Chains A and B, each alone.
Chain A
């Protein structure tokens, strides 16, 4: 069949179009576009059907695994698709790795190196035990995240735009440095030993729970990446839609109880609000998808992210 590839402004992206077998899949079309353009590899391509004149609404996005014939008019031997370049892409594992590597390296620098000399604090610095444990806790946390990135997580989208690398790294690295500065400061004031134990104990418990939540989420997705949304079940997911976010927030709460810095609490609030937005979106999608009609299971009543508030 003949496929025309045009940009949103109507310009022809592939001169003369692409000739493919009638049984071809969208992935084949993407490979053909890449072969012709030498630049737009499949992950950069967003293909949609043209919006019919007079009609409104979101355009139909072509799924890579679907057959092209699914999108054709009955009996027609040709198809037009609208092409959009998503820009350079990176794997999600790459994105996550650099996000988490920054805090993992930056925090110990404030602990071990004499960086406070440049902030006007000369002389010897006496470290409190809580500062040492905080450093271990922090590094364990980000090490865990890196390991989960490579060995636990399965990603629904294969790639992310490069611009997200800079934005996400700026977020993680800046907050990492900000918190590290105060936690390791020469004039740091520790909390009581009991409060420290409660904070770190609770935090470690939540980190372990978070890890288990990630295992459960991983098992929701088959290795091949097939299958859409599913209702998460087991452990805290029976109570909360995004139990992974819940445990993430609480483990930072534990860290803050033990270390007691304003910077840490600011980070907690920002992270919690970002994750809350994600959780609300996911909760809404799951409730919409699993409405109990036409044989579909009904989504059970659950908190979104932070019982008993939300």
Chain B
């Protein structure tokens, strides 16, 4: 009985990982080809749908961690996926004025390369039971370049969107109302920028620790 459950789990995770891999591969392909053909202004329009699919599908990873399907701690996946969903829907989808900015290109390329490596790594492990050493090395090395470029793009795009948030008052709730509550999206976004200050070094050092652990284990094997 436990064997069947385990097989179903592996099958599900294999399908999930390769499906999302395919989504991110599309994102990278469309981003690069559009960049070469039409320039960075057109990149967002080209990648919008696959980006939204791939990034939103990542939400399932939080659930995987919560139900114990995988061993990733929710405290690590939640902030990263949360910030990306915020960027994908809260900034890019909500404020079209950001679409033509070059930071969209750097964001999308950073994210997609990172995720292609990560999901193929997971996909290999679930499907074949192992991953090649070069993929392991990429998995635990590329973040050193891609985290800085990705995070800079995220912060930059939030900053660029701030004046449009204020102008449109999108996602704002004003008093008076019966529940005596108000919400201002631009203030919330400024707060999220503040969270990046301690959050980014924390994620980076977390990944450095993971790298040391993983590569040491591989060397021992």
Contacts and interface: CB of A to CB of B under 8 A. Distances in A.
The answer on A and B forming one complex is yes
A185 B181 CA distance: 10
A115 to B, nearest CB: 15
Contacts of B180: 182-183, 185, 188-189, 259-263
Interface stretch (B117-125, B161-169, B171-179): B171-179
Residue from B175, B176, B177, B180 whose CB has the most chain A CB atoms within 10 Å: B180
Interface residues of B, number: 9
A127 interface: no
Contacts of B181: 182, 261-263
Interface string A121-138: 000000000000000000
A260 B179 contact: yes
Interface string B139-183: 000000000000000000000000000000000001111111110
Interface residues of A, number: 11
User: Chain B: interface secondary structure?
Assistant: loop
Contacts of B182: 182
Contact of B178 (A189, A259, A263): A189
Contacts of A263: 180-181
B194 to A, nearest CB: 13
A187 interface: yes
B175 A187 contact: yes
Interface string A178-191: 00001101011100
Interface of A: 182-183, 185, 187-189, 259-263
Interface of B: 174-182
26 contacts: A182-B180, A182-B181, A182-B182, A183-B180, A185-B175, A185-B180, A187-B174, A187-B175, A187-B176, A188-B175, A188-B176, A188-B180, A189-B177, A189-B178, A189-B180, A259-B180, A260-B179, A260-B180, A261-B179, A261-B180, A261-B181, A262-B179, A262-B180, A262-B181, A263-B180, A263-B181
